Amino acid sequence: MTALSLHRFLMRFALAGANIFAWIFAFQYFFLVEPDIAHALARTALLYALSQAITCLVTPYGARALRGGARRMLLYATVSAAAAFAVLGAAFVGVWGGAYAPEALIVFAVALGIYRALYWIPFELEARATRASRLPLAGEFVIALAPLASGLFIAFAAVAPVWLLDIGAALIVLSALPIYFMAEVHEGFSWEYRETFAQLWEPENRTIVTQSFFEGLSGATLLFFWPIAVFLITGWSYGMLGIILSFTFVVAILARTFVRKLLRRARLQQSGFYDAVFAVTPWLFRLSVATPIGVILADSYFYTTTPRRMGIDPVAFEQSADGGSYVDEYTALKEMSLALGRIVICVVGAGTALKVSLPVAFVTVISIAAIASVIGVLAYR
């Protein structure tokens, strides 16, 4: 359990500090080579969609491979995540020359997609670790402050983007060492590869697939489009982006328990109407913000009131089904449906940016996320 906790801490810290910034780096690269910022957003969104497509295609294989042991798949996933950041850093430093940067970006997206498809913590280990001990509050604060450290590092160091990606890759590799000391767990997965995709369309799975699809729509908006929007709102400031991300995570740590107690005392958590209100209002607030302070208020409100939480650092797993824990075949269906939802919102955002305008693209994806959040909450109830 100590090995699992150490691995998760290092992995979460590395992803919280590097993942969002890596996609911002990709967006800024496309801005330099594309004719305008709308094309840059479209190219980055399609790259993100490619990553999710790989996740959807590889997930059945990853889930079935757990029959041979989860520890090996964790190692493969961890190495894939480290390789993604290492390749991106090498591309930006010019290891293969500028002509091969687009190919390196594709490798980055594919490697991240493979990581998410193979990275499953066996539910048995997750449950035992939760009963044994939770990560101390100090550890949660350290993870919450990772974006701040990354943003300030980029702002004050000339070669910080490359170093940040290399440091992230090194921490992920370091997190692989405790995996060797984890207990081996074998999970059953009865479906064949094609059968898994066929199950997505079965009527008995329609509820879980639909709900996860809508969560994917809102999840990609939160973890991909919204950080880029915040980056633009802050005047392309990495430092301010890091401050906002960390501040809202810290607010969530300090306030979420208090807010939940208030909601329980007022019996608002038992109301479908108020669940829907708390799900949609943060997105409506995001449509109206135009300053860093407005972003902080909207995100702090979101992380402390939204009915269904993804943890303090959703960037670590990008809203993975069941919090990154493998449970059964239906967890794989949820993960694939989440990926399909992310793909759809990326295609919509890219198409709107190219055919209409950048502001309309952001308004469109945020509006869809608001609707999807309400549907997801009501379906969950």
pLDDT tens-digit series, residues 204-239: 999 899 989 999 999 999 999 999 999 999 999 999
CA separation for the pair 57, 346 (Å, rounded): 17
Supply 72's token pair: 């090996």
Q: Is 121 helix (H, G, I), strand (E, B) or coil?
A: strand
Is 312's pLDDT higher than 70?
no
The reported pLDDT for the residue numbered 314 is: 47
- pLDDT attached to residue 133: 52
**Could you give all domains of the chain from N- to C-terminal order, each with its CATH number?**
2-184+193-380 (1.20.1250.20)
The Cα-based distances of 73 to 77, 80, 117, 149, 176 in angstroms read 6, 10, 10, 30, 11
Q: What is the DSSP string of 276-298?
A: HHHHHHHHHHHHH--SHHHHHHH
Burial 139-164 (b: 16+ CB within 10 A, else e): ebebbbbbbbbbbbbbeeeeebbbeb
User: What distance in Å separates the CA atoms of residue 50 and residue 71, rounded to the nearest whole number?
Assistant: 26
Q: What is the mean pLDDT of the chain?
A: 87
CA distance linking residue 157 with residue 164, whole number of Å: 10
pLDDT at 65 over 60: yes
> How far is CA 28 from its chain centroid?
19
User: 0.85 exceeded by the pTM?
Assistant: yes
Query: pLDDT band at 93, cuts 50/70/90?
Result: confident
In this predicted structure, the answer to whether residue 14 has a pLDDT above a threshold of 90 is: yes
pLDDT at 130: 57
Most confident of 89-93, 130-134, 151-155, 171-175: 171-175
Lowest mean pLDDT among 51-55, 60-64, 150-154, 319-323: 319-323
Lowest-pLDDT choice from 109-118, 257-266, 358-367: 257-266
Angstrom distance (rounded) from CA 217 to CA 376? 10
DSSP state of 215: H
Is residue 202 pLDDT above 80, yes or no? yes
